[in-house]
Amino acid sequence: MMVDEEVQEPKIKTKTKIKVRSNPKKINRTIVDPTGFHVAEVHHAIGKKGVNRNIEAAWMAPRDHSVFEFRNINYIVGEGKAQKPILTNVSGRVSDGSTVAILGPSGAGKTSLLMALSLGITSGKVTGSIELNGKALTNQSFKDHCFLVEQSDHHWSFLSCLETLMYAASLLLGPGNHSAVVDSIIEKMGLQSCKDTKVGNDFVQGLSGGQKRRLSIAIALLKKPAVIMLDEPTSGLDSAASVAIVSELRKLAKTENLIVIMTIHQPSTKVYNDFDQVILMARGRQAFIGEAAAAHDYFETIGHPMVHMTNPAEFLVDLVNSDFTSEDSVLSILDEWKQHTSETHRSKNETLVVGSNDDFHQLIKRKKSFLHELSTIFGRHALLVARDPILYVGRIVLLLISNTIFALAYWSSREKVQAQAINFYYANAWPISLGSMFAVVAVFGLNAEFKSVIREVKNGMINPLTYIIAKTVLVLPVMLLFGAAAISTGVYAILGLKANYGIYLVLYAISMFVFECIAEVLSVAFINPLMGMLCFLSIWFTSFLFGGTFLPPDDLSVVIRWLYHAMPLSYTFNAISYHVFSGEDWPSCVPDANTGAVCVEFDESPDEAPIALILESLSKIIPNVSGDDNRVEAMAIILGMALGYKILYVAIFLFKSS
Ligand SMILES: Nc1ncnc2c1ncn2[C@@H]1O[C@H](COP(=O)(O)OP(=O)(O)OP(=O)(O)O)[C@@H](O)[C@H]1O
């Protein structure tokens, strides 16, 4: 978020002192982290010997006191005359133990405010200041001490509820057995009945919408952050579940010293009564912030007494909703609040007291290592690779079936007679063409995966580079499996190919890998996976068409001739043609117009036609075929292209995840 202090207006003058309270009996040595948390390095709950061992003990203890403050938050979208204010001068202050509801009619700016407070706004201009314990909130301090539960739940579809939480615990709390912590969260969130159910997605049945919401909150609670922000945590829940979740969050806020801030649409009276504070929004401005119980008195003093026996949340929201209240009345309520705050803030001179014993996060920081994170992500994704039928397993099965059918279609090319040379070439070219095209599903699958990964990066669960490394290491052997599925039964078992299997496998795997890398780029480049899939198919078809199988590169207009050199299939087709003919003993060439056999310099050829002769002969029909052995060069070029796409992927990934 861009924070531009200069445009803060009006300026609220708060003389805030940060006082750090420490307990010398309990703490031997202390350090201060950049967020202002005064952190105990050795704490009595853990004991000198227990440091770095007993995360669970630290997790069970309440965390430190904290204060979250935001001043003059303004959010503007558009430029020039098209400028539109989304948030105007929103301010507030929340201390630990409080549960805060952001209320307001649809379009009031509730989600925008939550996104601004979580530094999650990616377009437009945000100004103002946001502080946690008196220090400006940064992406890093958000990762360390806050957690955002977004409106849509992005989980790993093929993990069960329990597995999701166990992996999250490992990523958030470091090495160790976290079963006790996870069990207690499962119980608090009422997830016992579905703990072994897979999360599921639009295509695979799994957890209900409400259970997914509770799972998202459970992950947030595992981290035990200073501030939990939740966008519509009760959407998709029935009223009993909504009451249970909000009251559990309130209880946790009180017992664990957390700050809970949530947007909520239409809370019931019971849910409303569980809030300590409410922020009432309308037209991007504040109509009220304060104790939930005090809203009644405030609105009475400005001439809007609450009607007896009404749902207080409904009353407040209707009051600032121009569908139910006149425009003038809504504007006057907003102006009243502006007037009210400038008066109250002028007399403000508060002391902010923050705690001293937040050793829990310091312990985790020391326990978490790159290797632990890498091995956890690796383990989780190995499981997902094996379980997800779309991303990899499905493609392996499809390659096996489709390439067996190709081999049967080119059955006659088993004879290895000159008339079948072209067919033999195609029998080998199609498996690679089809296999590389199948990578289009990776655009879709990885796009969904990116949303889950972004959530984890944002909330400090994983480092994006660790994820990218783990995924790349996992995907490389999968490419070999693709190759084995594509060539083993088809061209080797059925068509009796004799060319070296290992070289073919590596050539195939590298050719698949470059398209996998292209799919990765497109999976993160577009929010909508369909756009990425469309681009992928365009790139793949360009590579296929200009790969030299159909069109001689020299015949292409110079404007597009570079496509032949820039696309990976040109190199693959060229290398494969040499490879598959190099392993065969093809008989002498006999030109025959009826059979389609073509020969070059037949008279000079020996009894056993040399490979160069056959390839030269084929090149008359297939422009990309040549008698030169370019296999190593081709593999190096394709790998270079893959590396280029990988770098682009990492750049987009890091940019978007920051
Ligand atoms: N990037 C943007 N560009 C243009 N308008 C935007 C943008 N973001 C938000 N808005 C507008 O700002 C207003 C507030 O949106 P926001 O989603 O914060 O409202 P909300 O109170 O959460 O609404 P709801 O309860 O319906 O989800 C809406 O009118 C919305 O259309």
User: 54-77: per-residue pLDDT in tens?
Assistant: 666 666 666 677 889 999 999 999
Please indicate, yes or no, whether residues 359 and 379 belong to a single structural domain of this protein: no
Residue to mutate, 84, 102, 111, 283, ligand 1, most ligand atoms under 8 Å from C-beta: 111
What is d(CA 420, CA 425) in angstroms, rounded to the nearest whole number?
9
Same domain (yes/no): 322, 374? no
Q: Is the CB of 123 under 6 A from ligand 1?
A: yes
Mean pLDDT of the region 416-441: 90
pTM: 0.80
Task: State CA 46 to chain mean position distance.
Answer: 35
Q: How far is 56 from 154, CA to CA, in rounded Å?
A: 27
Instruction: Give the residue whose CA is nearest to atom 18 of ligand 1.
Output: 109
Judge if 306 and 400 occupy the same domain. Answer: no
Rounded CA separation 20/37 (Å): 9
Q: Which of 524, 470, 527 is nearest to 653 (CA)?
A: 524
Residues 379 and 333 in one domain: no
Domain termination site, one of 367, 393, 420:
367
Distances from the Cα of 553 to the Cαs of 566, 578, 623, in angstroms?
12, 18, 8
Distance CA(464)–CA(450), nearest Å, equals: 10
Statement to judge: residues 351 and 451 lie in one domain: no
Domain count, the chain: 2
Say yes or no: 257 and 404 in one domain: no
Mark whether 343 and 422 lie in a shared domain: no
Last residue of a domain, one of 339, 367, 395: 367
Q: What is the mean pLDDT of residues 345-358?
A: 46
Q: Is residue 227's pLDDT more than 70? A: yes
Query: Can you tell me which atom of ligand 1 is nearest the CA of 284?
Result: 14
Distance 110 CA to ligand 1 centre (A): 8
With a CB cutoff of 8 Å and minimum separation 6, the contacts of 134 are: 16, 18, 36, 67, 69, 352, 354
Report the 10 Å Cβ neighbour count for 54: 16
**Looking at the structure, do residues 338 and 413 belong to the same domain, yes or no?**
no
Query: Which residues make Cβ contacts (< 8 Å) with residue 344, sequence separation at least 6?
Result: none
Same domain, 350 and 392: no
Structural domain containing residue 230: 5-367
The predicted-structure confidence for 251-260, as pLDDT tens digits, reads as follows 888 888 899 9
Q: Verify whether ligand 1 is closer than 6 Å to residue 85 (CB atom).
A: no
pLDDT at 566: 93
342 plus 377 within the same structural domain: no
Pocket test for ligand 1, best of 86, 121, 527 (most atoms within 8 A of CB): 86
* Strand pairing category for 125-132 and 67-77: antiparallel
Q: Are residues 209 and 297 in the same domain?
A: yes
86 lines ligand 1 (CB under 6 A): yes
Task: Out of 349, 367, 385, pick the residue that ends a domain.
Answer: 367
Residue nearest to atom 16 of ligand 1 (CA): 109
Partner residues linked to 127 by β-bridges: 74
**CATH number of the domain enclosing 268:** 3.40.50.300
Cβ neighbours, 10 Å, residue 320: 27
Q: What is the pLDDT of residues 100-114, one digit of tens each?
A: 999 999 889 999 999
Determine if ligand 1 sits within 6 Å of the CB of residue 133: no
Instruction: For residues 351 and 379, state if they share a domain.
Output: no
Q: What is the pLDDT of residues 29-49, one digit of tens each?
A: 333 444 444 433 334 333 444
